[in-house]
Homo-oligomer: A and B are copies of this chain.
Amino acid sequence: MRISKEAAAANKAHILQAASQLLLEKGLSGLGVSEVMQQAGLTHGGFYNHFESKDALAVAALGASFDGAVERVAKRAAQASTASDRKSVFRFYIDRYLSKGTRDAQNLQCPMAAVGTDVAQGSEGMKTAFAEGVKRYLLAFTNVIPGKANAARKRAEAITALSTMIGALTLARACAGTNDDLSDEILAAVREKLVRET
């Protein structure tokens, strides 16, 4: 049966949201059309009324994931007006990103740590969406880097801090459950280092 334009648009939004969440939870290979549609409260057949292919969905979901991540950092950055504010915001961010809670969370919320490896051999569209997301994320993340360095230096610091956080979370997640001591050690060492450098 036909459905109102608004209802259809809402359904598409639900599909995208479900896909984004599933992408963050299970990675690119865990993103299934049927599961997404089911989680959106629909049957799989109607999927192609909204997206051209599964890859198109994955690209859109990745973009949406970055939207959320960028928005969250930007919100934090907006809270920090003074230099000391920026320092505490940055530390808070580090502490939270490299916490056991983040590591053990189902919904990772960080697309870079969730699908970073997969994207490398993904479609062209996926790589473009990823690169665009990283670019946007870096712009926002640079604004929470504390200190009085110039813009170029701050950007470099944002890049290195981001790399370190993503690498650490990736290692910590992969080791969790089977070697929690090592996983905890990784999180603690990297957290300590990033905070110390602040």
A193 at the interface (CB under 8 A from B): yes
Stretch at the interface among A40-48, A73-81, A175-183: A175-183
A117 at the interface (CB under 8 A from B): yes
Stretch at the interface among A8-16, A50-58, A87-95, A157-165: A157-165
Is chain A's binding surface mostly helix, strand, loop or mixed? helix
A71 at the interface (CB under 8 A from B): no
- Give the chain B neighbours of A178 by CB distance below 8 A: 124, 127-128, 130-131
A167 at the interface (CB under 8 A from B): yes
- A168-B163, A178-B128 known; A121 and B189 CB under 8 Å? no
Give the oligomeric copy count: 2
Residues of A near any B CB (own CB < 8 A): 26-30, 112-121, 124, 127-128, 130-132, 134-135, 155-156, 159-160, 162-168, 170-171, 173-179, 182-183, 185-186, 189-190, 192-193
Q: Report yes or no: B121 in contact with A175, Cβ–Cβ below 8 A.
A: no
Q: Report yes or no: A115 in contact with B117, Cβ–Cβ below 8 A.
A: yes
- A173 to B127: give the CA distance in the assembly, Å: 9
Shortest Cβ distance from residue A133 to the other chain B in the assembled complex, whole angstroms:
10
A171 CB contact (under 8 Å) in B121, B134, B175, B190: B134
